[in-house]
Structure 1
Amino acid sequence: MSESGKVIAAYFASWSIYARAYNVIDIDSDKVTHILYAFANIKPDGEVFLGDSWADTDKHFEGDSWNDEKKNLYGNFKQLGLLKKKKKHFKVSLSIGGWSWSTNFPSVASKSDSRKKFVTSSIELLKDLGLDGLDIDWEYPQNEGDAKNYVKLLKELREALDEYSESQNHSHKLLLTAALPCGEEQYKKMKLKDMNKYLDLFYLMAYDFSGSWSSKASHQSNLYGSDLSTHKAVDYYINKGVDEDKIVIGMPMYGRAFQNTNGFGSSYNGVGEGTWEQGVYDYKKLPRQNATEHFDEKAIASYSYSASDREFVTYDNPQVIIHKTDYVKHNNLRGVMFWELSGDFPTSHERSLLSAAYHGLGGKDAIDQTPNHRSFPDSIYENVRNGFE
């Protein structure tokens, strides 16, 4: 990757094409450098497989043919391939695991045969779908054994990716990245210095510091603060041997609600309906009706509060994003990441978080311009082999 270019990564969720009605065509590819596609699942024997084949590889979008003589790729991955063809800096990685599909990581990572199956099957998906990398989202390693096995898995993935790259005469490497925790209880279990040998980017999930599990209404993604904070996690990762220019700070495109509360730091009762799940609102639906938006200068956090509804919602607004991009630049970090794109306003909107990050990092000339990979002669799909020509 270009040493100076800042990363703007964002998760695209396969399920966003359903009720959320957010499609690949809605991504502003000028303002995103890396897409992380959520998620692939893992079988007990280690095989990595796509989580929703209809959305991922089968769905026909506008302009897709139904008269194929040979096997072609469709679904979200064809749409992403077309974007890659159009925008040479736009890179796509497959994210494996996630909160719901991390169950098999511990057993798979603990045995050499299942690790091997994990590695070979994920490389197969990369070759077939025409991807630029793999992203590991293991939530979360629980003990010393898990932590050591995680490193073994990353080492074997790195070696396999490099081997495939060499066989294809790639001018630049395929990416190996991971989504990583910001909670002290989780990150203290990780072998971060060893992971640093194999990972290109560390995506810090710097959100969900608070929620329905919390005792009081509080910030979910504050930059500073005595307990949980983005800065505290960044500091720990660097002190444990992670290169600062590999660290990418994650930011939410959603808010977490607390009801029947007197506001920040107060007790609450219930979290409300949310947009798609209880207690969670898409950022584009915020601030809520009757609510006033506030900025906490000390913590660098924004929130809304409605005195009439007694509802507190914690989320990042553009003001917070600008502070965080300044923090990234000042501390020589690599960039920012968002979970997940369907929650944002369109980038033409003055409150778009993606737009705020793009401008905050310095715009077109400041962001990563490393070219994507376009040649996949071993793909099972004819249109991928042909580069969608």
Structure 2
Amino acid sequence: MDRGPLHSGHSSSDNPPSTSQRLPILAGYFPAWSIYERNYNVADIDAEHLSHILYAFANIHENGTIILGDPWADTEKHFEKDQTVNHKADKWMANVNNLYGNFKQLYFLKRRHPNLKVSLSVGGWSWSTLFPTVAMDVEKRKRFAMSAAQHINDLGLDGIDIDWEFPKTEQEGQAFVTLLKDVRSALNDTQSSANNTPYLLSVAVGCGPDNYKYLHLREMDDYVDLFYLMAYDLAGAWNEKTGHQAALYRDKKINNVQQLTVHDAITHFAKMIPRHKLVMGLPMYGRSFSKTTGPYAEFDGVPDGTWEKGSYDYKDLPRPGALEIYDPEIGASWSYDAKLQEYVTYDNHQVVQQKAQYVMDQGLGGCFFWELTGGGSNDSQRNLLTAAFYSLGSKLDTTPNHLSYPASHYDNIRSFAT
């Protein structure tokens, strides 16, 4: 594989790297809705190149209970044999209470890959509305924590990922800490005796100053195993001018445009969180702009995109007729179509390689992708997941997953208990 330039003119050791010998994490979000128009199933996941999967998303009931976002996709759908991990069609069975849907397939994937951990991600952009009222109410908080533990046991999971977008006051930031404390306690109380590895508690956090300024990071660190840094969407159609959505470094040639960078965000988090807990987010999509001349320019509207306006899957980039550019000095890539006046900011394989090397140099925990359906490529050299895997050293976290759930609500998950 052509690795491309891995180092820029910037130092990647502004702060001392961790001396930890931990193997890196490589995680990916799997969205429940991927099984519909995207036609991407659990069986399509390249689990050989992943250590963690985060399932997006669960919602929150107003009483504090975590509820599945799409019960049919999550626990009910019967897949045909060409859509299953074990290549056997799900059978309809009477008088049994079996788990089906994506979570059954994820459990089978875990059995095939004993070091693959799966967490249920709660919230996200659309379903974070109730976090403040739940986190600030002691009874609702307890229900949230208890239901988090119950979902792990019922669905055969390894952890809970909380994606609160975003605490907006000091009070909410402090309530977030209390919520994490309660969840950690509930996970510890329900820990399986068959596996001494604690259940995971992770959080997805924004990398723009307005998104992390109310986070009480030092206190959160007491309860959180992994901080998934959403190091993308640092520029988009909400800005006055175009920019790079996930540049590693600032462009020193530009002075008149606000630049948010991955390095700046990581520098902030690393002051308060151990580096091995920080997992850098990588986009498997591009942010696009219409009627513009390229980076740091005015624009007028956004293209239709692959599935939503202004956003293309990485596998659809660069667009036909567009020129792709990689700048190792800032750790960013983009494409521009002069005829259509269309600019798209995204991470290509060279940027992913550079960022993965940065992760290793800085002693960070690893990388994760949002989200797995966008990164496939007919050109294996451009595949983002394998680019990250090889640049992280080709060896990933070997912490064992959980496979025994004797208290599961589902007959087939209980039957695997040892």
Q: TM-score scaled by structure 1? A: 0.96
* Aligned partner of 1:180 among 198, 201, 205: 205
Counterparts of 1:156 and 1:324 in 2: how far apart (Å)? 34
Counterparts of 2:324 and 2:188 in 1: how far apart (Å)? 48
The answer to whether the 8 A contact 1:287-1:293 is kept is yes
Task: For residue 30 of structure 1, give the secondary structure of its aligned residue in structure 2.
Answer: helix
The answer to whether the 8 A contact 2:26-2:366 is kept is yes
Q: Residue type matched to 1:215 in 2?
A: E
Counterparts of 2:114 and 2:211 in 1: how far apart (Å)? 36
Change (3 A) 1:339 1:60: same
1:196 aligned residue? 221
Q: Given the alignment of the two structures, is residue 130 of structure 1 paired with residue 156 of structure 2, yes or no? A: yes
1:32 aligned residue? 50
Counterparts of 2:303 and 2:211 in 1: how far apart (Å)? 28
1:337 aligned residue? 368
Q: Please state how far the C-alpha of 1:123 moved relative to its aligned partner.
A: 1.1
Change (3 A) 1:275 1:97: same
Counterparts of 1:347 and 1:310 in 2: how far apart (Å)? 26
Instruction: Please show how residues 61-100 of structure 1 align to structure 2 within 5 Å.
Output: 61-62=79-80, 63-100=89-126
Q: Please state how far the C-alpha of 1:346 moved relative to its aligned partner.
A: 5.2
Q: Please state how far the C-alpha of 1:347 moved relative to its aligned partner.
A: 8.6
Q: Deviations over 1:263-312 (max 9, x none)?
A: 11110001110000001000000000110100122211000001111110
The answer to whether the 8 A contact 1:81-1:388 is kept is no
Counterparts of 1:85 and 1:169 in 2: how far apart (Å)? 15
2:260 aligned residue? 228
Q: Given the alignment of the two structures, is residue 257 of structure 1 paired with residue 282 of structure 2, yes or no? A: no
The answer to whether the 8 A contact 1:301-1:320 is kept is yes
Counterparts of 1:272 and 1:178 in 2: how far apart (Å)? 32
2:10 aligned residue? none
The answer to whether the 8 A contact 1:291-1:307 is kept is yes
How many pairs were matched up? 384
Task: For residue 360 of structure 2, give the secondary structure of its aligned residue in structure 1.
Answer: helix
Q: Please state how far the C-alpha of 1:164 moved relative to its aligned partner.
A: 1.2
Instruction: Please show how residues 205-284 of structure 1 align to structure 2 within 5 Å.
Output: 205-225=230-250, 227-239=259-271, 241-284=272-315
Counterparts of 1:336 and 1:347 in 2: how far apart (Å)? 22
Counterparts of 1:58 and 1:163 in 2: how far apart (Å)? 28
Counterparts of 1:348 and 1:160 in 2: how far apart (Å)? 45
Q: Please state how far the C-alpha of 1:147 moved relative to its aligned partner.
A: 0.4
The answer to whether the 8 A contact 2:403-2:417 is kept is no
1:147 aligned residue? 173
2:254 aligned residue? none
Q: Please state how far the C-alpha of 1:18 moved relative to its aligned partner.
A: 0.3
Instruction: Please show how residues 101-120 of structure 1 align to structure 2 within 5 Å.
Output: 101-120=127-146
Q: Please state how far the C-alpha of 1:162 moved relative to its aligned partner.
A: 1.2
* Aligned partner of 1:311 among 337, 342, 365: 342
Task: For residue 34 of structure 2, give the secondary structure of its aligned residue in structure 1.
Answer: helix
Change (3 A) 1:386 1:44: same
Q: Residue type matched to 1:188 in 2?
A: K
The answer to whether the 8 A contact 2:406-2:417 is kept is no
CA RMSD of aligned residues (A): 1.4
- Of 226-235 and 214-223, deviating more is 226-235
Counterparts of 1:28 and 1:386 in 2: how far apart (Å)? 27
Counterparts of 2:54 and 2:116 in 1: how far apart (Å)? 11
- Of 212-221 and 343-352, deviating more is 343-352
Q: Residue type matched to 1:230 in 2?
A: V
Task: For residue 109 of structure 2, give the secondary structure of its aligned residue in structure 1.
Answer: helix
Counterparts of 1:33 and 1:280 in 2: how far apart (Å)? 27
| Identical residues among aligned pairs (%) | 49
Change (3 A) 1:79 1:3: farther
2:359 aligned residue? 328
The answer to whether the 8 A contact 1:82-1:388 is kept is no
Gaps of 5+ in 1: none
Q: Given the alignment of the two structures, is residue 19 of structure 1 paired with residue 37 of structure 2, yes or no? A: yes
Q: Residue type matched to 1:374 in 2?
A: L
Counterparts of 1:154 and 1:138 in 2: how far apart (Å)? 11
* Aligned partner of 1:43 among 61, 81, 86: 61
1:379 aligned residue? 408
Q: Residue type matched to 1:187 in 2?
A: Y
The answer to whether the 8 A contact 2:405-2:417 is kept is no
Counterparts of 1:211 and 1:232 in 2: how far apart (Å)? 18
- Of 40-49 and 347-356, deviating more is 347-356
Q: Residue type matched to 1:27 in 2?
A: I
Q: Please state how far the C-alpha of 1:348 moved relative to its aligned partner.
A: 7.5
Counterparts of 2:143 and 2:262 in 1: how far apart (Å)? 35
Counterparts of 2:308 and 2:344 in 1: how far apart (Å)? 14
Q: Residue type matched to 2:280 in 1?
A: I
Q: Please state how far the C-alpha of 1:68 moved relative to its aligned partner.
A: 3.7
* Aligned partner of 1:358 among 389, 401, 404: 389
Q: Please state how far the C-alpha of 1:349 moved relative to its aligned partner.
A: 2.3
Change (3 A) 1:3 1:117: farther
1:160 aligned residue? 186
